[in-house]
Chain A
Amino acid sequence: MIRLPLILLFIISWQIAAAQQVDSLKLTESTINNFVATNEGNKLTIGLYGQVDFNKPIVENRRTNGKFDVHRIVMSMAYRFNSKVHFATEIEFEHMDEVYVEQAFLNYKLQEKVHLRAGLLLVPMGIINEYHEPTTFNGVERPNVDKVIVPSTWRQVGAGFTGRLDNASLKYQLYAMSGLKSYDSGALFNAKNGYRSGRQNAGEITVSSINVAARVDYYGIRGLRVGASFYGGDSQSSRYNGIDSDNNYELQSADSSVVSISIGGFDARYQINGLVLRGQFIYAANSNVLQYNTATGSDLATALSGYYVEAGYNVLRHCKTTTNKLVPFVRYEDYDTNLKVINGQSRLRGYHRNEITVGAGFWVDEGAVLKADYQILNDESDAKATGMFNIGIGIAF
């Protein structure tokens, strides 16, 4: 019974001590280390991003209709099961009549340096494919290099590792994935659109061989972020399904519907004093193209490549009364979906395109932007350049 008043006395003195800001808890490091994290962050998070556009082609001596488009509305949802495991998904409504799952993966954090993840993943190639919210880039539409050369939004089912090395300012991603599909009762790759028709939209994906995707980001120089991406592997073909594994003729026929793809990319983003610069270069090399084109009647090139450079400046940077941003920008793009072709095939100069985009974005909030720009679309052929006027809103929250 004598103990209880003692405890009371101790606690009261503790209270008084605390009130006087005297150190009342002398903990050594080892005792502190026994504390367990209780701040787990949010369990369920919901977000949304989208863009609504108006596009109007401007062609000399010709009337053209404009187009309003609820281009995309994407809902994202993530659930944290515990401090190590979370699931993330993005569901996209495109042009109001197409529904896709853009991402759906489970992430297991072994440690910050090593996260294991599996599911439907974005292919880490270039800037836009991973950072595609309209509030993160200039221009109403994404750069065409990220549409024609990199088939954004490019996602595949796979598994692999990602992580951050904070001391080295590095982030890496390494995944084994399903691949682009080159054949499905007809050629899916061609000289005009590259790989774009070969994207498998995550439903009942054909798998005939495994592809690899890797990317490293370095952001140790203040204001600068550079990234290098690689993607490689054989394309997928429906011709393998059901063939006799001892039948050489059938096997050869299936092999000829496959293209070996290697894509390398380099990109950089730099921001200093309101100036924002970004650039990206992508080179893709295909092999087995002669067999593929012969067998399928396609005209796929052996190499396709593209780059863009862009500069913008926030003119409201020195305006102390607002945090809004008004960013005029200019972007130059050059891309060729038939940079190199097999012997005997002629290059089409019209597939070597270039674009100048001039416009501005007005960020009324970090997550809401009004955009307008004008594009001059040209190619290597003798055809006259055409114009495109774009205006749109972009949101992300």
Chain B
Amino acid sequence: MSIKLIIVFLLMLMVRSDSDLQIDKTGWRKINSAAAESWPGKNVVFVKVILAAANPKSITPNHCVYKVTSGAAVMGYLYADNAMGKFDTFDFAVLFSTDLRIMSTVVLTYREEYGGEIASARWLRQFTGSTTPFEFGHNVQGISGATISARAMTAGMNNAVARMRELKSKYQL
């Protein structure tokens, strides 16, 4: 009996071994309102994609991916990750269409004292619609007083696009 329980426990551990980024209530509220703008009139449901068992090595420690569904149809994807500002990390989420165009970007949690300006909806809008590599200071404008975080966000967006492309081509997400 006890051995069986241990086996169950170990199996559970294996399943839950991916240390995903956890999205809190405020985060989901932001994602939901961004999704409502990206897919107007659709009641979308987020379905988590479990990646751990498939290819553990390719998983960056913190990101997580959801399918955005409406009824039986897949509308797009949600990618959430964190990036490093000057002193602390911040969490962000990107909504993709099924063909991996960026629909919307939101900063979920910003922790450090300076640089929170990157959470501005208008600043984040410059990523929308684009799938080209982002180059800070070229096709991504900085914000005075938030340079380090704006640069980190730009790199985070490039990661997000690359990761989603990889998932889509390798695993027919």
Interface residues of A (CB under 8 A from B): 4, 7-8, 11-12, 14-15, 17-21, 23-29, 32-33, 35-39, 41-42, 45, 47, 78, 80, 83, 88, 107, 111-112, 131, 136, 164, 166-167, 169, 171, 217, 219-223, 225, 269-272, 274, 278, 317, 366
The complex places the Cα of A167 from the Cα of B123 at a distance, in Å, of 10
Q: Is the CB of B117 within 8 A of A164?
A: yes
The complex places the Cα of A155 from the Cα of B71 at a distance, in Å, of 56
Q: Is the CB of B141 within 8 A of A222?
A: yes
Q: List 15 A-B contacts (CB under 8 A).
A: A7-B8, A11-B12, A36-B22, A37-B24, A45-B87, A78-B113, A83-B109, A88-B113, A136-B145, A164-B117, A166-B120, A167-B121, A220-B123, A225-B143, A225-B145
The 9 tightest CB contacts between A and B, nearest first, are A37-B24, A269-B144, A45-B87, A18-B53, A169-B120, A41-B111, A18-B50, A21-B171, A225-B144
In the complex, chain A residues whose CB is within 8 Å of the CB of B52: 18
Q: Is the CB of B87 within 8 A of A25?
A: no
Instruction: Given A21-B173, A35-B22, answer yes or no on A169-B121 (Cβ-Cβ < 8 Å).
Output: yes
The complex places the Cα of A83 from the Cα of B53 at a distance, in Å, of 31
B42 at interface, CB cutoff 8 A: no
Instruction: Given A23-B47, A45-B87, answer yes or no on A112-B110 (Cβ-Cβ < 8 Å).
Output: yes
Find A32's partner among B7, B11, B23, B62 (CB 8 Å cutoff): B23
Q: Is the CB of A18 within 8 A of B15?
A: yes
Interface of chain B, main secondary structure: mixed
In the complex, chain A residues whose CB is within 8 Å of the CB of B121: 166-167, 169
Question: In the complex, what residue of chain A is closest to B91 when comparing beta carbons?
Answer: A39
In the complex, chain A residues whose CB is within 8 Å of the CB of B25: 33
The complex places the Cα of A27 from the Cα of B122 at a distance, in Å, of 31
In the complex, chain A residues whose CB is within 8 Å of the CB of B62: 39
Find B119's partner among A23, A47, A164, A274 (CB 8 Å cutoff): A164
The complex places the Cα of A24 from the Cα of B15 at a distance, in Å, of 11
The complex places the Cα of A223 from the Cα of B117 at a distance, in Å, of 12
Question: In the complex, what residue of chain A is closest to B147 when comparing beta carbons?
Answer: A366
The complex places the Cα of A38 from the Cα of B27 at a distance, in Å, of 13
Q: Which residues of chain B (1-27) have a CB below 8 Å from chain A?
A: 4-5, 7-8, 11-12, 14-15, 21-27
Q: How far is the CB of A77 from chain B (nearest CB, A)?
A: 10
Question: In the complex, what residue of chain A is closest to B125 when comparing beta carbons?
Answer: A222
